[in-house]
Amino acid sequence: MDYRDEVFLLVAENLSFSKAAEDLFISQPAVTKHIKELESRLNIALFERKGNKIYLTKAGKLIYTHLKKIKQAYQEMEFELGRLNDTFKGVLRVGASSTISQYLIPKVIAAFHKRYPKIELHLLNGNSFEVEQKLFENEIDLGLVENVSSQSSIKYIDFLDDELVIVTSSNSVYAKKKTLSAEDLQTLPIVLREKGSGTLEVIQKALSKYNIPIDKLNILIHLGSTEAIKNFLCDFDGIAVVSVSSIEKELRLKEITQLELKGIRLNRKFRIALMQGHEVSATKLFIEFLSRYNF
């Protein structure tokens, strides 16, 4: 691809000349010069300014769509060339929901990078809803999510079993209970993840099978991450629901106590999420690697 095309893509994706300059490590006037040269070559305006903001013109949107396809095709070519001599070059953008990005995927990415050092990896994180939005907006090539709902335009592939468990601080008055009943679950003060998180959605759907509406729980607060919940538990006489994958260290240090929930299981699948019909070669390689990884 022409360097001006690369500059245009960055300006279009950020709708900012200064941000593009920062990402490219060049000056803002240099970015402006490249865009003007591209507009002169194409004989049409690609951006329009409204106040302090810039927007793509109709022609700009058309050029952006085609150049994204060209860039993807170019990356595919580099990857296939890498396959011939086992160097595997390319770019892979992975989005992962909070629990996966914090507790599972870093070691996978480290191992993947060691095996394929010439594949440039980018990891973005957010809750499951946000990861799926990044897929729709083509900000990532694949997502790793923990929710149970499905979007019709997204293809899902299970890659790991997980269980949500009830925990409390080891200093809590509830630490000695060991076992909770369905009634306990509805009466004890509880802290949960925020709306949009896969964890909260799984809890809601799982409890509905036992005729326990989530709004009947004694919810004190919703927090935006599992780490925030674990820190909150330190000074909280109550319970929380978190992934068993997230509490290995705290259980070992006896900072958190896991409580059995009598007659209720909160199981789920961690899933790979892909846009239907959109799969670059590096994505296929990562999926194969992930499916073989020994968690």
The enclosing domain of 29 has a CATH number of 1.10.10.10
Domain count, the chain: 3
At 185 the pLDDT is 93
Taking the whole predicted model, whether its pTM rises above 0.75 is answered as no
H-helix or E-strand containing 224? none
For residue 218, pLDDT over 90 is answered with yes
Mean pLDDT of 141-164: 92
Same domain (yes/no): 215, 260: yes
Banded pLDDT at 61 (limits 50, 70, 90): very high
Banded pLDDT at 108 (limits 50, 70, 90): very high
Same domain (yes/no): 261, 171: yes
Same domain (yes/no): 215, 152: no
Domain boundary among 50, 81, 112: 81
For residue 280, pLDDT over 70 is answered with no
Mean pLDDT of 13-39: 91
Same domain (yes/no): 155, 278: yes
Same domain (yes/no): 137, 279: yes
H-helix or E-strand containing 49? strand 47-50
CA dihedral 270, 174, 182, 148 (to 10 degrees): -10
Same domain (yes/no): 105, 251: no
- Collapsing DSSP to helix, strand or coil, 207 comes out as helix
> Which CATH number does the domain housing residue 178 bear?
3.40.190.10
Mean pLDDT of 214-233: 94
Provide the residue range defining the domain that includes 236: 163-268
> Which percentage of the chain shows pLDDT scores above 70?
97
At 279 the pLDDT is 62
Q: What is the CA radius of gyration of the chain?
A: 23
The mean pLDDT of the chain is 90
For residue 274, pLDDT over 80 is answered with yes
Domain boundary among 37, 54, 81: 81
Ramachandran quadrant class, 2 (left: phi over 0; alpha: psi -120 to 50; beta: rest): beta
